[in-house]
Structure 1
Amino acid sequence: MTTRLGRVTLVGAGPGSADLLTVRGLRALERADVIVADRLGARPVLDELGLDTPVIDVGKLPGHHAVPQERINALLVELALEGKHVVRLKGGDPYVFGRGGEELAACRDAGIPVDVVPGVTSAVSVPAIAGIPLTHRGLATAFSVVSGHDQLGEVGGGRDHTVVLLMGVGTLGHSAHVLARGARGADCPVAVIEDGYGEHQRVTIGTLGTIVAQAAQRRVRNPAVIVVGDVVTLSPYAPEELSARKAEAL
C-alpha cells in the first residue's frame, strides 16, 4: 500500500489582522489538514478566523524561538510525508525576514511539493498606519528594508533614501548612532510604530538624535517597525517642527 504524499503551502499572514490576509491564503487555510503557525502575526489571524483545523504553535517571538528553525523544517516534512496538506502560516510575508526560503528548501530536498502565498509585509503596511509612505515625490525615491541586526553602515543614501528597520527595538541605540554618523545626520526624522494593527498600536516620532531617549521614556516594545527618513514628516503624528521641514523639502 502506497502512502499518499502530502504538500506544504507557505502562507504569509500579513501584519496580524485577518482582513489583510489574501484570499488565496484564506483558501489554503480552509483546505489545510494541519496548520503550523508562528505566534507573532499569524496567531491573531487564526484567532479571528476561528477555523476548526488543528494548529501546531511553533512559538516564535522576538528574541525567543521556542522551537528551533531546524525542528520546524523537519516538522513540515514529517507532516507532509504522512500525507497531510500542511499550511505553514507565517507573519507578514514568508520571504521578508521570515526564513521562508529555508523552509521551502528543506521541503524540496525531501521531495515535498511546496506552494508559496505572499503576504502583506509589515515593512510597508505598518508605516502606512502612521501615514508614512516609504517613497514620495520630492522626499524619497527609494527605500531599504533591513533587520536590526544588519550592518547599517552599508546602507547608503541620505534621508531621501528611507530605511525600514524590522526587529529593531533592542538595537535601536546602535542603529540610531550608526545612521546619524552618515549622510542622514542626527536631525533625520524617525518613527517607531508599535503593535501595528493590534490593540496596543502606538506611534513615537523623533529624530535619530532623540529617538533613543523617547523610546526609553515611553517604554517602546516589540513588535515594532522603525522608519528613518524625511517621509516621516508626512505623518499626522509628526510634531510641528518636523512638519515644517516637509514644507521646505517639497
Structure 2
Amino acid sequence: MIDISLPQFEFPVLESGWVWLAGAGPGDPGLLSLHALNGLQQADVIVYDALVDERILQLAGNETEIIYAGKRGGKPSPKQSSISIKLVELAKSGKRVLRLKGGDPFVFGRGGEEALALVEARVPFRIIPGITAGVGGLAYAGIPATHRGVNQAVTFLTGHDQNGVAPDQLDWDALAKGSPVIVMYMAMKHISLITEKLMNGGRSAAEPVAVICNATQQHQQVLDTTLGSCADDIAKSGLKPPAIVVVGDVVNLREQLNWIEPALARTSQKEEEPAL
C-alpha cells in the first residue's frame, strides 16, 4: 500500500454506506488524483469501467472486491440502470463503495446519472474529479487545448448519442463557425459524417486534425491528418477506439511540443542498454 500522508493534510474517510464517484484519469496511472488513490485503498468494493487501467486496480487493498461494469460500443455491456442499482444495493448493505470511471465522471462519463440515482435512493456520495481524456490525451500528444494567439475557446462534444448514432441535436453549422478548436469523444464511428457536417458549415478541408488513440498509455498512437482526409486516413491506418479527435490550429503545435515520443524513446533505450 502506498503511503499518501501529507503534512498538514487529512484525507477524507470513506465511510460505510457511502459511494465515491471517482475519475481514474485518461489511462496513465500517474495521473490518478490523491483523493481517488485514497478511495482505492479504503473501499470494500470497487465498481470500475472498461477504460480504467488494470495497474490502477492493483492499488486497491488485498481484500477489496473488484466488480467490472464496463460499457464498450458493439460489445455486450451492462445497462446503465443496472449499474446504478448495483451501487445503491452495495451501499445499502453497508459497503464502502468506490465507483471508478475512466477520465472524469462528469465529462461524458454518465456520472451525473449515477449520482442522481444515489440521490433518489438517499445514499450519501462524494464526487472526485479526474483528468478527462479531452485534456490529458491532448497534452500527452503535445497539443494544448488552448493557446494564446490561436484560440480563446474550445468545444467538447461526443460523436454519438445514447442510441449510438451521430448526435443530430447539435448545431453543426454554429459549431463549425463559432468554435476554433473542437475536441470530440467517441467520434471515430461517425467521423465521415461529422467531418462532412463541419466542412459544410464552413471549415476548411485543409484544417489540421489529430486522432489520439489509447491516450496517455505507453502504446498511445497519434494520427496527424486534415479535416478533408481524416475519414480516409483513419480507415487506412487501422486505428481503433477509444480515441480523441481534435480539430483546429492548436494541432500544428504538436510538431514542437511532442514531448512523449522522445521520452518513450529514451526509456526504451535505457531498457536495451546492457548492465555494467
Q: Distance in 2 between matches of 1:154 and 1:115?
A: 38
User: 1:131-182 CA deviation, whole Å, 9 max, x = no partner?
Assistant: 1111112211100100002336155254862000001111111111111112
The one-letter amino acid of 1:16's match is G
2:227 equivalent in structure 1: 208
The equivalent position to 1:49 in structure 2, one of 59, 81, 86, is: 59
Q: Distance in 1 between matches of 2:89 and 2:174?
A: 40
Q: Distance in 1 between matches of 2:103 and 2:76?
A: 17
1:72 equivalent in structure 2: 83
1:218 equivalent in structure 2: 237
Name stretches of at least 5 consecutive residues in structure 2 with no aligned partner.
Answer: 1-14, 161-166, 258-276
Name stretches of at least 5 consecutive residues in structure 1 with no aligned partner.
Answer: 239-250
- TM (norm. structure 1) is 0.88
Q: Distance in 1 between matches of 2:16 and 2:40?
A: 18
Q: How far apart are residue 64 of structure 1 and its match?
A: 3.3
Q: How far apart are residue 88 of structure 1 and its match?
A: 0.3
Q: Distance in 2 between matches of 1:50 and 1:75?
A: 20
The reply on whether 1:82 has 2:101 as its aligned counterpart is: no
2:182 equivalent in structure 1: 163
The one-letter amino acid of 1:172's match is I
- TM (norm. structure 2) is 0.80
Q: Distance in 1 between matches of 2:142 and 2:101?
A: 25
Q: Distance in 2 between matches of 1:168 and 1:215?
A: 11
Q: How does 1:84-233 map to 2 (within 5 A)?
A: 84-149=95-160, 150=167, 151=170, 153=172, 155-156=174-175, 158=177, 161-233=180-252
Q: How many residues align?
A: 234
2:272 equivalent in structure 1: none
SS in 1 for 2:250: helix
1:242 equivalent in structure 2: none
Change (3 A) 1:160 1:112: closer
User: 1:54-73 CA deviation, whole Å, 9 max, x = no partner?
Assistant: 10001222343511000000
